């Protein structure tokens, strides 16, 4: 996720390094933002604010990429900031907040909806039909009840060339929930047309917009996003509103 950022930042850093000592101090965010832009013109900041840690300023770019600097831009710090007193990973916590999704803005009508038990709790999953970790997640979801699961078909063609056709076949099946379960759990590809009106292209666009970089990606009702496979015990905690300790 950070590769583009690191290339941009570090290449700019080496070119600008000789001029660091000549930079005039900036004591507020406006001056600091201008100083960063002067040294690293390719960086477009989304936000900049002072932290409570040693005079560091937190800078955010491209929606969720975080780095730190001082008021004079004498150094750039890329990596995790840990609060030694609380043992919190401040950077990870901030990135999680930045990556939140407003659940009620998701196009749930374009998802495969499965209601288990009373269905009171809600979660959405971006899933690729050929993703092995998606299959593992489905196995864990077997152990969870009282939840409504919205599955967004999100085939990643660069990794799984056949996944797109499988996703479309699932959507075109008479019973999408059964077709999805048969495919993701048993490997049974629906014997249906792939040419019905389907949302796969729209969901690919949605995933790009939300910066979904892999599958599975889980979004909970409060907007918290968790990438990767999550065991059932942890899913229960997350569905009940508990959040990862950092």
In the chain the domains, ranked by start, together with CATH numbers, are 3-98 (3.10.450.70), 103-239 (3.40.30.10)
Sign of the torsion formed by the C-alpha atoms of 156, 162, 163 and 167: positive
Nearest to 218 by CA among 141, 146, 105, 110: 141
CA angle 110, 212, 193 (to 5 degrees): 40
pLDDT in tens, 179-203: 999 999 999 999 988 789 999 999 9
Checking if the pLDDT of 120 tops 50, the result is yes
Alpha-carbon distance of 2 to 65, in angstroms, equals 7
Token pair in block for residue 229: 């496979």
pLDDT of residue 8: 52
Alpha-carbon distance of 236 to 232, in angstroms, equals 6
Please state the rounded mean pLDDT for residues 158-186.
96
Average pLDDT, the chain: 87
The secondary structure element, H or E, covering residue 47 is: strand 45-50
Alpha-carbon distance of 137 to 154, in angstroms, equals 15
Checking if the pLDDT of 45 tops 60, the result is yes
Helix (H, G, I), strand (E, B) or coil at 192: coil
* Least confident piece of the model among 57-66, 139-148, 164-173: 57-66
Beta-bridge partners for 115 = 148
pLDDT of residue 18: 28
Alpha-carbon distance of 175 to 51, in angstroms, equals 52
pLDDT of residue 17: 33
């Amino acid at each position: 996720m950070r590769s583009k950022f690191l290339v941009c930042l570090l290449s700019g850093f080496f070119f600008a390094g000789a001029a660091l000592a000549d930079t005039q101090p900036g004591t507020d965010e406006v001056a600091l933002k201008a100083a960063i832009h002067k040294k690293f013109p390719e960086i477009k900041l989304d936000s900049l604010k002072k932290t409570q840690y040693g005079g560091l300023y937190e800078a955010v770019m491209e929606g969720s990429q975080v780095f730190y600097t001082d008021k004079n831009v004498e150094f750039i710090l890329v990596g995790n900031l840990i609060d030694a007193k609380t043992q919190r990973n401040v950077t990870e916590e901030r990135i999680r907040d930045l990556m939140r999704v407003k659940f009620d803005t998701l196009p749930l009508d374009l998802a495969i909806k499965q209601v288990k038990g009373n269905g009171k709790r809600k979660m959405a999953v971006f899933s690729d039909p050929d993703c092995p970790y998606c299959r593992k997640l489905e196995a864990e979801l077997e152990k969870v009840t009282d939840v409504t699961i919205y599955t967004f078909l999100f085939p990643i063609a660069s990794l799984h060339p056949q996944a797109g056709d499988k996703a479309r076949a699932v959507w075109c099946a008479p019973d999408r929930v059964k077709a999805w379960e048969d495919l993701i759990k048993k490997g049974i590809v629906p014997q249906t047309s792939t040419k019905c009106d389907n949302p796969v292209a729209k969901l690919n666009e949605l995933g790009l917009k939300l910066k979904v970089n892999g599958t599975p990606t889980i979004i909970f009702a409060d907007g918290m996003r968790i990438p990767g496979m999550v065991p059932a015990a942890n899913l229960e905690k997350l569905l009940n509103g508990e959040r990862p300790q950092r």
